[in-house]
């Protein structure tokens, strides 16, 4: 099994990939970098960036938004952590962020070795496809039924260590490792991957700034694993195989080998990547879009914000958990998971930006007042819909969701229901190239040197024509 994946990674070529796949990889790079740059606007992002000092000064890879360089493992560590700070980064089937682990690893190794744009695109796709297959095969989100009631919950013991294997596969492809060395890279990376932390996170109050996992550890483990394999250090080249394989190491409740072993292209999972309009957990985006629709209806009817007395939100029952229902967020992590807080921002018409998670916004009196009008309940149709998708063997996560809102203003009720999320990969809601570029500009504003953001966007558009990515990635230095 490990060898089969290693062969798929080492044999993947730019020419073999459809145009849509290559374009999605370019979009993923732009979005991930933009999210990381945007994190520097808030204190939590700057604290994560300060960790660069742990790796020493000097090196061959850019720490995005900083004047200094580091070695590739250090750059991957810092940039990956930054990419997830705002919880604005890409999602896959609403249960993980693959880009935040894979893209920083790819760009750090590619910059260190002067690789081409085509190498970068191929590396991103290889890493995404490995991480997606392993993540789907090792479910961490499930549904259970007790006395006729369906419950959606996250694993109490699971983790997402397979993200590190995606980063390792991507770095191996950038380094041009053959199948044998790639298998060793996966084995080394697996032994360097973080512990399964998801179960502990649900009981971590207050929520730590590292949230449910440290994306930097995932990216850096992949860079280290591939780099060591390139020097002929051996790892467990059968780490995915058998009853004691990686799935048991990472705390998964089950493993579906057939899903992990589907050939690249059947399907291309990167085409199912979703991009976020809001800097908060994707689990509550249905609700936020529904609030926005209800607010628009109330305003059209002539009612202002002062007339709103109640915002009743129906969600799937996992969103009724304490992190999602926090009514006293105090920092970026707690705010990015709080439905009452983010719903209040949408109701007040606060444009999504890094400032959503800034302390001055969190403390605003009008936000706190609007939060008191927000209440949540279970929308059983949403729970049932998601449970049905989670029951499909070898298909972790879900794509179809639902949220309802009943907003009361001036004694009248305005209702909204949202089933399709903006930024999902489906036609009609999929982000266009211009929307992804606008998002990058908005979140990178004030971080890069004058003109650098526009030049980086242009470079990403023509990435397949770039013979050496180093000048492009050096634009990301402050």
- Please, what are the averages of pLDDT over each run of 10 residues along the chain (478 residues)? 97 97 98 98 96 89 94 97 98 97 98 98 98 94 84 85 98 98 98 93 92 96 98 98 93 91 97 98 98 98 98 97 97 98 98 98 98 98 95 90 98 97 96 98 96 98 98 97
Q: What is the pLDDT of residue 114?
A: 98
Q: What is the pLDDT of residue 98?
A: 98
pTM of the model: 0.97
Q: What is the pLDDT of residue 141?
A: 86
Q: What is the pLDDT of residue 122?
A: 98
Quick check: 329 and 341 in contact, CB under 8 A? yes
Orientation angle between helical segments 2-11 and 162-175, nearest 10 degrees: 40
Angstrom distance (rounded) from CA 413 to CA 386: 27
DSSP secondary structure, 284-343, as one string = GHHHHHHHHHHHHHHHHTT--GGGEEEEEEEE-GGGGSTTTT-SS--SHHHHHH-HHHHH
Within the chain, all domains assigned CATH 1.10.4100.10 are found at: 2-277+429-476
Q: Which of these, 33, 63, 31, 67, lies nearest to 49 by C-alpha position?
A: 63
Angstrom distance (rounded) from CA 99 to CA 163: 9
CATH topology of domain 2-277+429-476: 2-methylcitrate dehydratase PrpD (1.10.4100)
Q: Where are the alpha helices (DSSP H) in 138-232?
A: 162-175, 179-192, 198-201, 215-230
User: Partners of 477 in the beta sheet?
Assistant: none
Angstrom distance (rounded) from CA 235 to CA 237: 6
Q: Which of these, 437, 390, 376, 326, lies nearest to 95 by C-alpha position?
A: 390
Phi/psi-derived region of residue 176, left when phi > 0, alpha when psi is between -120 and 50, beta in every other case:
left
Beta pairing, strands 374-378 & 149-154: unpaired
Within the chain, all domains assigned CATH 3.30.1330.120 are found at: 282-418
Q: What is the pLDDT of residue 59?
A: 93
Print burial letters for 100-119: b (CB count within 10 Å at least 16), e (below 16).
Answer: bbbbbbbbbbbbbbebbbbb
Angstrom distance (rounded) from CA 423 to CA 274: 5
CATH topology of domain 282-418: 60s Ribosomal Protein L30; Chain: A; (3.30.1330)
Q: What is the pLDDT of residue 62?
A: 97
Q: Which helix (H) or strand (E) holds 378?
A: strand 374-378
């Amino acid at each position: 099994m490990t060898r089969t994946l290693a062969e798929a990674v080492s044999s993947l070529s730019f020419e073999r990939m459809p145009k849509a796949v290559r374009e999605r990889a370019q979009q993923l790079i732009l979005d991930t970098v933009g999210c990381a740059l945007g994190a520097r606007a808030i204190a939590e992002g700057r604290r994560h960036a300060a960790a660069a000092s742990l790796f020493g000064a000097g090196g061959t890879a850019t720490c995005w938004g900083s004047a200094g360089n580091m070695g590739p493992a250090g750059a991957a560590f810092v940039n990956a952590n930054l990419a997830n700070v705002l919880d604005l980064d890409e999602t896959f089937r609403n249960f993980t962020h693959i880009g935040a682990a894979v893209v920083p690893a790819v760009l750090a190794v590619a910059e260190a070795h002067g690789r081409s744009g085509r190498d970068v695109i191929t590396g991103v796709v290889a890493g995404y496809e490995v991480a997606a297959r392993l993540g789907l095969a090792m479910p961490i989100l499930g549904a259970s039924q007790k006395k006729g009631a369906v419950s959606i919950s996250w694993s109490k013991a699971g983790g997402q260590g397979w993200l590190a294997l995606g980063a390792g596969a991507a770095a191996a492809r950038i380094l041009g490792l053959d199948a044998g060395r790639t298998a060793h890279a996966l084995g080394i990376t697996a032994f360097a991957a973080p512990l399964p932390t998801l179960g502990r996170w649900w009981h971590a109050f207050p929520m730590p700034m590292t949230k449910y996992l440290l994306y930097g550890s995932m990216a850096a483990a992949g860079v280290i694993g591939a780099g060591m394999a390139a020097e002929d250090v051996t790892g467990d080249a059968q780490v995915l195989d058998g009853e004691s394989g990686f799935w048991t190491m990472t705390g998964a409740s089950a493993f579906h080998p057939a899903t992990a072993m589907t050939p690249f292209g059947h399907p291309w999972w990167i085409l199912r990547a979703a991009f976020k309009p809001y800097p908060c957990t994707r689990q509550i985006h249905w609700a936020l879009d529904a609030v926005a629709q209800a607010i628009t209806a109330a305003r059209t009817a002539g009612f202002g914000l002062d007339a709103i007395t109640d915002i009743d939100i129906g969600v799937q029952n996992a969103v009724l958990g304490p992190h999602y229902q926090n009514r006293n967020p105090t920092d970026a992590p707690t705010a990015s998971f709080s439905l009452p807080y983010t719903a209040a921002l949408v109701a007040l018409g606060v444009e999504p930006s890094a400032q959503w998670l800034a302390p001055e916004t969190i403390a605003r009196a009008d936000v706190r007042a609007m939060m008191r009008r927000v209440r949540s309940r279970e929308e059983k149709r949403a729970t049932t819909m998601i449970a049905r998708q989670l029951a499909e063997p070898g298909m972790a996560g879900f794509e179809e969701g639902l949220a309802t809102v009943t907003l009361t203003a001036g004694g009248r009720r305005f209702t909204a229901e949202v089933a399709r999320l903006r930024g999902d990969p489906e036609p009609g809601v999929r982000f266009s190239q211009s929307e992804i570029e606008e998002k990058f500009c908005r979140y990178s504003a004030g971080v890069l040197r004058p003109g650098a953001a526009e030049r980086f966007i242009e470079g990403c558009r023509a990435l397949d024509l770039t013979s050496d990515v180093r000048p492009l990635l050096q634009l990301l230095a402050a």
